[in-house]
Structure formats: structure tokens, C-alpha cells
């Protein structure tokens, strides 16, 4: 989608963007990292789950001998708040092709006790070392092209917008300027263009954000309110090419107060670069 790239007047490079600053972890000792969770990625006072996953993903990338998340599974324990946090990692196994690690993010409660917010298990590798073979039956989702009248711009999942687009009334508007090309395509499915507000190109950590950046599909199913994630697993399948991403999120089954959200992320070269599934609770 080169037209999108050229439409961005300035474009923050990978490593020097808002997303990079807000996910930067500072080593305190081997395997332990400090992070100041930015208030810019909150929804209803809770920090976005995809942003948290990117933070934990960067800590593990530093701690493990491999730098790219291939599969990362997160269990969300308590709601994170903006502010200081510490990430403690453990190297579980190192191998030639894959390494496995564990990481937890902690914050202090009002009495100064450490409370665990989220715990992940992940296997890392080197995306650039993978062979080029692709055999796929998957096709990119149909989304109106960026630049069309109903699609004013790429999705900026930042600050006000991210805080906003999770609110229940978001679904009332067929095109939300804060959501770019978000289109409801029937019960339980959402599709959107996704890009960082400062034009930074996607990398594997931005994919961890992208899978959880759309409004809950539960809104399309007629539910409203908070849909907390219980567990979220992301598979990064390829390093994304520069340019905007397309994201589709589908819920097929809401039952017993729980629903799954399946996300697929496609890059500008029409490759399926990430798949995710989360189990979320619906407050009925």
C-alpha cells in the first residue's frame, strides 16, 4: 500500500517512535527489567493488553538468545495501571532454532506489595532465518482501500484514540475517525487498517499490539461494557513488510459468558504475518 506510506508526511523509524519509547525496558539486573507503563495506552483505566504483551515481548527478546517472538501466550491476572512496573524473566530452554522463556510483569499495590499483573510463556526464534516457502489457503480480508471517502486514514492506536475506541458507543458509528477503516462486516467480525500514529513501520512487537487493538467483537454481538482478556496467544509467522497492516478479528462462539476472539494480521505484501486467539469474559 505505497499510497499510505507516501501520505504520511513524517514517519518515525523503528526504534525511535512513541511505541518504542513506551515499550522500552531498562535492565536492572540479568533478566529483570524496569518499565514505566505509559498512560497513553489505557482503556477505561486499564492498560491495553496488546501494549503489555509488547512490553513483555521486548523484555524476553533481551533476555533470550533469540530476538523474535514466534509464539507467546499471556494469562492476564490483574488489571495493570500506568506507572512503574518490573518484568522478571526466566530462560526456560535455549535451543538452536528456538528458545523458550517466561516473564511476569509486577506492580506495587498501595501497601507496597508486588502484585503480578500478567504472566507469559513464549518461544522465540529468528524470523529472518526461516525459509521462504509458503503454502497457504488464507486470504487477506476485504477492507475498503485507504484513501477512499469512508476511510480517512490509518489507525492510530494511541492515547485518546485507544482510550476511546473501546468504549461501548464506538460501534454506533460505521466509520470512526479514530479507527480508520473499521467496518462491521456482520455479527462478530471486525476489520481495520492498522498503523502506528507516527508512521512507524510494523515489526513483530507491533504485531503483538495489533492483535488486541480493535474494539471487542462483543460490541458487534450486541454486548457492551468491559470484555477483559483471560488469555491471549499470538503466533508471529513472518516479519511484516513496511506499510500499514490489515487486521480482522472474528468471534464465532459466545457461550457461558466467555468468547474467543481470533485475529489475523496481514502486511502490505499480502502475507499473513500474525494469528492470535484470546479467551475473554463477557459481562452479560
DSSP secondary structure code for residue 141 in this structure: P
Q: Which residues contact 221 (CB under 8 A, 6 or more apart)?
A: 187, 188, 251, 254, 259
Q: Which range binds its own copies by CB under 8 A, 11-19, 73-81, 156-164, 170-178?
A: 73-81
Applying CB under 8 A, among 5, 7, 130, 185 the residue interacting with its own copies is 130
Query: Does the protein bind its own copies through residue 277 (CB under 8 A)?
Result: yes
Q: How far is the CB of 150 from its own copies (least distance, A)?
A: 25
Stretch of 33-41, 74-82, 106-114, 140-148 contacting its own copies, by CB under 8 A: 74-82
By CB under 8 A, residue 53 contacts its own copies: no
133: contact with its own copies by CB under 8 A: yes
Helix (H, G, I), strand (E, B) or coil at 4: helix
Handedness of CA 227, 207, 204, 239 (dihedral sign): positive
For the chain, the distance separating the N- and C-terminal CA atoms, rounded to the nearest angstrom, is 40
- Residue 91 binding its own copies, by CB under 8 A: no
- Phi-psi category of 53—alpha, beta or left, where left has phi over 0 and alpha has psi -120 to 50? alpha
Residue bearing cell 468468547: 259
- In DSSP terms, 182 is beta-bridged to none
What is the binding site for its own copies (CB under 8 A)?
A: 70-71, 73, 75, 77-78, 92-93, 97-98, 100, 102, 116, 119-123, 127, 130-138, 187-188, 221, 230-231, 233, 235, 237-238, 252-258, 260, 271-272, 275, 277, 279, 281, 284
Amino acid at each position: 500500500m505505497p499510497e499510505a506510506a507516501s501520505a504520511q508526511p513524517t514517519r518515525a523509524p523503528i526504534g525511535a517512535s512513541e511505541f518504542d519509547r513506551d515499550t522500552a525496558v531498562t535492565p536492572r539486573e540479568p533478566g529483570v527489567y524496569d518499565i514505566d507503563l505509559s498512560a497513553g495506552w489505557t482503556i477505561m483505566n486499564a492498560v491495553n493488553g496488546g501494549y503489555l504483551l509488547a512490553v513483555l515481548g521486548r523484555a524476553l527478546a533481551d533476555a533470550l538468545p533469540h530476538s523474535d517472538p514466534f509464539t507467546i501466550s499471556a494469562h492476564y491476572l490483574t488489571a495493570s495501571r500506568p506507572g512503574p512496573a518490573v518484568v522478571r524473566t526466566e530462560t526456560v530452554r535455549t535451543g538452536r532454532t528456538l528458545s523458550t522463556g517466561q516473564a511476569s510483569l509486577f506492580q506495587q499495590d498501595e501497601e507496597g506489595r508486588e502484585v503480578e499483573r500478567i504472566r507469559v510463556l513464549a518461544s522465540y526464534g529468528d524470523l529472518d532465518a526461516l525459509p521462504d516457502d509458503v503454502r497457504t489457503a488464507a486470504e487477506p480480508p476485504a477492507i475498503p482501500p485507504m484513501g477512499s471517502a469512508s476511510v480517512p486514514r490509518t489507525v492510530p492506536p494511541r492515547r485518546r484514540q485507544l482510550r476511546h475506541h473501546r468504549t461501548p458507543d464506538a460501534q454506533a458509528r460505521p466509520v470512526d475517525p479514530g479507527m480508520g477503516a473499521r467496518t462491521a462486516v456482520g455479527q462478530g467480525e471486525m476489520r481495520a487498517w492498522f498503523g502506528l500514529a507516527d508512521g512507524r513501520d510494523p515489526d513483530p512487537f507491533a504485531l503483538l499490539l495489533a492483535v488486541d487493538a480493535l474494539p471487542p467483537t462483543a460490541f458487534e454481538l450486541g454486548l457492551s461494557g468491559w470484555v477483559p482478556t483471560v488469555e491471549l496467544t499470538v503466533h508471529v509467522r513472518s516479519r511484516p513488510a513496511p506499510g500499514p497492516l490489515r487486521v480482522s478479528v472474528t468471534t464465532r462462539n459466545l457461550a457461558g459468558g466467555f468468547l474467543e476472539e481470533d485475529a489475523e494480521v496481514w502486511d502490505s505484501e499480502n502475507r499473513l504475518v500474525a494469528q492470535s486467539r484470546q479467551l475473554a469474559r463477557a459481562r452479560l
